[in-house]
Amino acid sequence: MSHFGKPGERAERSRRWASPLFAAAVLLIFLLALPTFSPVSGASVQTLKEKLAAKQAELNAAYAEYSKFQDQLNVLAEKHNAAEVRMAQIEDAINGVENEINRAQKDMDIVRAQLVERLVALYKDNCSGAPVYLEVLLEESDFASVIDRLTMIGRMADQDQELFDQVAGYLDKSRERQAVLEEKKRAQAETTAELEALQAEMSEKFSAASGEYQRLTDQVVKLRAEVREAEEEAARAAAAAKAAAAAAAAQKAQAARSNYSGGTVQSGSFVFPVQGPHSFIDSWGAARSGGRTHKGTDILAARGTPVVACVGGVISRTTPTDIGLGGITVWLKGDNGYSYYYAHLDGIASGIRRGVSVSAGALLGWVGSTGNAGSCNHLHFCSYTSSGTPTNPYATLRAAD
Give the model confidence (pLDDT) of 203-241 as tens digits: 777 777 677 778 777 877 787 777 777 777 776 776 666
What Å distances lie between residue 132 and 153, 156, 373, CA to CA? 10, 12, 68
- CA gap 365, 282 in Å, rounded: 23
Looking at residue 383, its amino acid is S
What's the rounded mean pLDDT across residues 183-194?
Answer: 84
Q: Which residue has better confidence, 69 or 260?
A: 69
Same fold: 1-259 with 262-401: no
pLDDT at 159: 64
Cα-Cα-Cα-Cα dihedral sign, residues 40, 42, 46, 49: positive
pLDDT at 28: 41
Q: Tell me if 359 sits within 8 A of 180, measured CB to CB.
A: no
| Confidence band for 151, pLDDT divided at 50, 70 and 90 | low
What Å distances lie between residue 343 and 101, 230, 234, 334, CA to CA? 36, 42, 46, 17
Torsion, Cα of 203, 207, 212, 215 (10° steps): 120
Torsion, Cα of 339, 341, 346, 351 (10° steps): 20
From the options 2.30.30, 3.90.380, 1.10.287, 2.60.120, give the CATH code of 1-259: 1.10.287
Residue ranges of domains in the chain: 1-259, 262-401
Q: How far is CA 41 from the centre of its chain?
A: 56
Q: What is the CA angle 310-58-4, rounded to 5?
A: 45
Q: How, if at all, do strands 339-348 and 357-358 pair?
A: unpaired
Non-local (6+) Cβ contacts of 380 within 8 A are 296, 297, 298, 326, 341, 342, 343, 344, 373
Non-local (6+) Cβ contacts of 238 within 8 A are 27, 28, 30, 31, 38, 40
Q: Which residue has better confidence, 314 or 16?
A: 314
209: left (phi over 0), alpha (psi -120 to 50) or beta: alpha
Residue range 42-95, pLDDT digits in tens: 555 557 667 777 777 877 877 787 777 778 778 878 888 888 888 888 888 888
Q: What ranges in 128-142 are assigned the alpha helix state H?
A: 132-139
What's the rounded mean pLDDT across residues 373-396?
Answer: 93
pLDDT above 80: residue 382: yes
Strand partners, 358: 313
What are all long-range contacts of 42-50, with beta carbons under 8 Å and residues at least 24 apart? 44/237, 45/237, 48/230, 48/233, 48/234, 48/237, 49/25
Q: Tell me if 300 sits within 8 A of 308, measured CB to CB.
A: no
Radius of gyration of the chain from Cα atoms?
36
Nearest partner of 51 among 243, 244, 246, 234, judged by Cα? 234
According to CATH, what is the number of the domain 262-401? 2.70.70.10
Q: Tell me if 319 sits within 8 A of 366, measured CB to CB.
A: no
